[in-house]
Amino acid sequence: MSYVQVYTGNGKGKTTASLGLSLRAVCAGKKVFMGQFIKTVDYSELKAMDFLPNFEIKRFGKSSFIFGKPTQEDIEAAKNGLRELEKKITSGNYDIVIMDEVNVAIHYNLLNVEEVINVLNNRAKNTEVVLTGRYAKNEIIEYADLVSEIKEVKHYYKTGVQARAGIEK
C-alpha cells in the first residue's frame, strides 16, 4: 500500500523534509526518485547520487520567470517533467517518487491540478508519492493521505542572512 504525502506552507523545510524521508528510505533499502520543478540554484542535494545508492534526482525547468511570467519554454519543460515523473510513478520501479515544488508549478500555471492528480491516480501500488511546495491547491490537499503545513514563525533571511551551502542550498 502506498500513500500520497504533501509538504506545503510558507516555511523553510519542505524539500528538506522530503530529503530526510529519502535518506530514511534509502537506508532501508528502498529506491527513490526526486524530480525538481522550477529550481535552478546549485543545491547540495544534487550531489546525493554520488553518496546514496538507490537515489536519483533530476531537474525539470527553470525559475527565471518567478518574478515575471512563465514562457512557453517554461511550461513545456514542466510538462515534459511531469511526463517523465509519470513514467517513474507508474513503473513500479521506485518505492518513493518526490515531485519537488510541483505545487509551485501548479500555482504558476505550468501544470494544472487535474493532470497531476491523474498521474497520482495511476501510480503503482507500491510507490509512495510526495508533493512539495507552497501554495498546495485544495484539490491536492483533499486528495492526499498526509498533509504537513510548514509555517514560518521566524526566519533569519529577514535579517540579511544569505542561503548557505548545506543548510538552505
Mean pLDDT of 126-139: 98
Is 158 inside any structural domain?
A: no
Say if residue 43's pLDDT is above 90.
no
The answer to whether position 159 is within a domain reads: no
Residue 168 lies in a domain: no
For residue 131, count CB atoms less than 10 angstroms from its CB and return exposed for 0-12, middle for 13-18, buried for 19 or more.
buried
Average pLDDT rounded to a whole number, residues 36-56: 85
Domain count, the chain: 1
Mean predicted confidence (pLDDT) in 147-162:
87
What pLDDT sits at residue 15? 94
Q: Give the per-residue pLDDT at 122.
A: 97
Task: Judge whether 136 lies within some domain.
Answer: yes
Query: Is pLDDT of 13 > 70?
Result: yes
What pLDDT is stored for residue 65 in this prediction? Answer: 63
| Better-scored residue on pLDDT, 157 or 93 | 93
Check which CATH number belongs to the domain holding 50 and give it.
3.40.50.300
Residue 166 inside a domain? The answer is: no
In the predicted structure, residue 107 carries a pLDDT above the cut 80:
yes
Classify residue 161: in a domain, yes or no. Answer: no
**What residues make up the domain containing 75?**
4-152
Residue 27 lies in a domain: yes
More confident residue, 72 or 46: 72
Does residue 74 belong to any structural domain of this protein?
yes
